[in-house]
Structure 1
């Protein structure tokens, strides 16, 4: 269901588009990629780029995390196609410092420590938190399906069933409230 109709006439000024994708690689790792683009609906002058026409990106940035199933970043690559200042692309190589960081508890803190402030780029840092979610959405279901299939094979063979690594994010939202019907259904399914 979309939002309600706006209360008054309005004019579009700014658009930020963020596209994120998760890929399974043939080497067993995963690529998590994001592309961020900011545009304006009007022309404006920029200190370093001169006149920027409507629709030309003010920001156009890419970032890729290579992540293992253990959720540890193996490498990070960033690139800047469009930026407001000539110095901005110089921050991109610094994101390689994220190699070795674990995507999980403390991830945002680790990002801030390694590429925070003048070491990095605000826009790329902001998108990294969302990329962590994409990593979980990409890797988790494949890993859990493999575990479920292994458990079914073990059960059918009369062998001990290995425990699942899946952890429910209890308390993280309405659906995962401790007493929600969603949590109760998940718990029942995990006990089967």
Structure 2
């Protein structure tokens, strides 16, 4: 279902985020993201001179390598287009994400580890999204574990309206974790 028709308008900016999840031959998983910001008008810039319309003002990449338990084995970032010459120098700081586990509070943990002056706002935002992409990528692998061990509570429960513990989706697909119909939590 699309949004309602918009008022008359002119596009000024486009942010594109593309993410991919891969299973590697060694059993690990690579979760990669790419972010670009593009303007429709020239952007004055001292370092790059005027940035023409359609040329990214920001273009950054990030990769998290994970094990099946969502532990970050390694992390890297790179910047192809930035508004300041100094921006790419922060890329090595993202290696500090290694050893963290993706789960509830991921975005907060990322901000604490590489946010603010320790990192790049745009890459930090991108890595926040990669947490969700990791769940989507690893779901087929992890779902088998939850089916083989029905007492293990899937971490996806209670993360949204559809997957609430007292709702019909959990009742149907995760009945041992269903708490509706007066069942205690």
1:164–1:21 distance in 2 versus 1, CA, 3 Å:
farther
Work out whether residues 168 and 176 of structure 1, in 8 Å CA contact, stay in contact via their aligned partners in 2: no
Which of 136, 156, 181 matches 1:169?
Answer: 156
Q: Which has the larger radius of gyration?
A: 1
Separation (CA, whole Å) in 2 of partners of 1:128 and 1:30: 15
Work out whether residues 144 and 165 of structure 1, in 8 Å CA contact, stay in contact via their aligned partners in 2: no
1:60-107 per-position Cα deviation (integer Å, ceiling 9, x unaligned): 000000000111101001000000000000111110111101111332
Gaps of 5+ in 2: 179-185
Residue of structure 2 equivalent to 1:43: 42
Residue 188 (structure 1) shift? 3.5
1:180 is the counterpart of 2:167: yes
Residue of structure 2 equivalent to 1:124: 123
Number of residues paired by the alignment? 178
Work out whether residues 91 and 120 of structure 1, in 8 Å CA contact, stay in contact via their aligned partners in 2: yes
Gaps of 5+ in 1: 152-161
Residue 184 (structure 1) shift? 1.2
Q: TM-score with structure 2 length normalisation?
A: 0.88
CA RMSD of aligned residues (A): 2.0
